[in-house]
Amino acid sequence: MTTSTSMSTHAWVFTLAGLTLVLAFDFAMAFINRNKKTTLRAATFWTLFYVGLAIAFGLYLAAWASEGARSEFFAGWITEYSLSFDNLFVFILILARLQVPKEKEELVLYIGILSSLFLRGIFIAGGSALVNRYAWIFYFFGFFLIYTAVQLFRESESDEWKEGRFISLIRSKGASTFVLALIAISTTNVLFAFDSIPAIFGLTKNPFIIVTANVFALMGLRQLYFLIGGLMSKLIYLTEGLSLILAFIGVKLVLEAAVNGGHHKVLGVHLPEVSLQVSLGFIIVVLITTAIVSLASSKREERKLS
Residue among 204, 198, 209, 82 nearest 142 (CA) = 198
State how far the Cα of 180 lies from the Cα of 98, in Å rounded to an integer: 8
Alpha-carbon Rg for the chain, nearest whole angstrom, is 20
State how far the Cα of 14 lies from the Cα of 8, in Å rounded to an integer: 10
State how far the Cα of 41 lies from the Cα of 151, in Å rounded to an integer: 37
Q: What is the pLDDT of residue 53?
A: 93
Whether the predicted pLDDT of 3 surpasses 50:
no
CA distance between the termini of the chain: 65
Average per-residue pLDDT in the chain?
A: 79
Report whether 215 contacts 73 (CB < 8 A): no
pLDDT band at 54 (very low <50, low <70, confident <90, very high): very high
For residue range 96-121, list pLDDT tens digits in order.
778 777 777 777 877 777 887 888 88
Question: pLDDT: is 89 or 241 the higher one?
Answer: 241
pLDDT band at 2 (very low <50, low <70, confident <90, very high): very low
Whether the predicted pLDDT of 155 surpasses 70:
no
Q: What percent of the chain has pLDDT over 70?
A: 90
Report whether 98 contacts 168 (CB < 8 A): no
Of 13-17, 149-153, 283-287, least confident by mean pLDDT is 149-153
Q: What is the pLDDT of residue 74?
A: 92
State how far the Cα of 225 lies from the Cα of 106, in Å rounded to an integer: 9
| DSSP state letter for 62 | H
Of 8-22, 254-268, 288-302, least confident by mean pLDDT is 254-268
Q: What is the pLDDT of residue 160?
A: 53
Please report how many Cα atoms fall inside a 13 Å half-sphere around the Cα of residue 100, on the Cβ side: 27
In a 10 Å sphere around its CB, with 0-12 CB exposed, 13-18 middle and 19+ buried, how is residue 198 labelled? buried
For residue range 210-224, list pLDDT tens digits in order.
889 988 988 877 778
Whether the predicted pLDDT of 63 surpasses 50:
yes
Tell me the average pLDDT across 237-241.
82
Q: What is the pLDDT of residue 176?
A: 81
Of 32-46, 156-170, 274-288, least confident by mean pLDDT is 156-170
Q: Count of residues for the chain? A: 306
Report whether 87 contacts 119 (CB < 8 A): no
State how far the Cα of 179 lies from the Cα of 200, in Å rounded to an integer: 31
Whether the predicted pLDDT of 190 surpasses 80:
no
pLDDT band at 163 (very low <50, low <70, confident <90, very high): low
Rounded to whole angstroms, what are the CA distances from 92 to 112, 161, 207, 225?
12, 9, 31, 8
> Reduced to 3 states, what is the DSSP secondary structure of residue 131?
helix
H/E stretch holding 266 = strand 265-266
Residue among 77, 82, 17, 25 nearest 52 (CA) = 77
Report whether 83 contacts 199 (CB < 8 A): yes
Tell me the average pLDDT across 233-244.
80
Long-range contacts of 279-285 (CB under 8 A, 24+ apart): 279/75, 279/202, 279/203, 279/248, 279/249, 279/252, 280/71, 280/74, 280/75, 280/78, 282/245, 282/248, 283/75, 283/78, 283/79, 283/82, 283/245, 283/248, 284/78
- The most confident of the ranges 45-49, 103-107, 163-167 is 45-49
Q: What is the pLDDT of residue 49?
A: 92
Whether the predicted pLDDT of 158 surpasses 60:
no
Neighbours of 181 (CB within 10 A): 26
Report whether 85 contacts 290 (CB < 8 A): no
